[in-house]
Amino acid sequence: MATAKTGSFYLTETVTIPASSATGTRIQGVLDLGAYVNVATGQAVAVESVDIVIQAGGGFNQLGTNLFVGDGCISTQLTDLNPGTKFVRADNQSLIASGALNLDHTNNVLSHQADLYPDNFGPAALSEAFMVVNDSLYLVAGSDGAATGAGDIAVTARIKCRIAKLSAKDFMAIAIQSTASDN
């Protein structure tokens, strides 16, 4: 059973999709957890929730028509194993959070879909948190459907988490599950 070693705190990672990027562009960012995860003591990061914020241009506005030159979608995934600049399937054990923001440019309509958005693993119960025993998290964001607009698109993951102490058996089980999902 996990026990909390800290209260909740936030970690953030931002990736920037460059202006005028072609459809299918994928960008990856890496969040180093080396200071938080400790194999010898069974210390892990318990992810409680993940919010994804998408902002356009140098002014970081959220006006949908600034995102694409036509109909398009920005997809994001947060994983605890390195997928490179690819998305993983929803049944991949390393997937922590994902979401998509779709733009109907003609009608100026934004909608989100796919996964829980934001992902929320429970209010405070550590048993409902996503336990991370790897030393990095990977944020991948990409655009599809149309080229991006004239400004960069910043995609930020705000990760609410805490440090947790796991029993040796629990830590090993999570490590095996995490490693197995890489095969």
pLDDT in single tens digits along all 183 residues of the chain: 688 899 999 999 999 999 999 999 999 999 999 999 998 898 999 998 898 999 987 888 777 778 888 899 999 999 999 999 999 998 888 999 998 999 888 888 888 765 654 455 555 567 778 899 999 999 999 999 999 988 999 999 999 999 999 888 888 888 887 776 555
CB 74 within 8 A of CB 54: yes
Strand, coil or helix: 48: strand
pTM above 0.85, yes or no: yes
- Which among 26, 57, 21 is positioned nearest to 146, based on CA atoms? 21
pLDDT for the residue numbered 117 = 40
CB 50 within 8 A of CB 96: yes
Q: Among all chains, which residue has been given the structure tokens 């948190």?
A: 129
Residue 15 burial (C-beta neighbours within 10 Å; 0-12, 13-18, 19+)? buried
CB 62 within 8 A of CB 54: yes
CB 120 within 8 A of CB 97: no
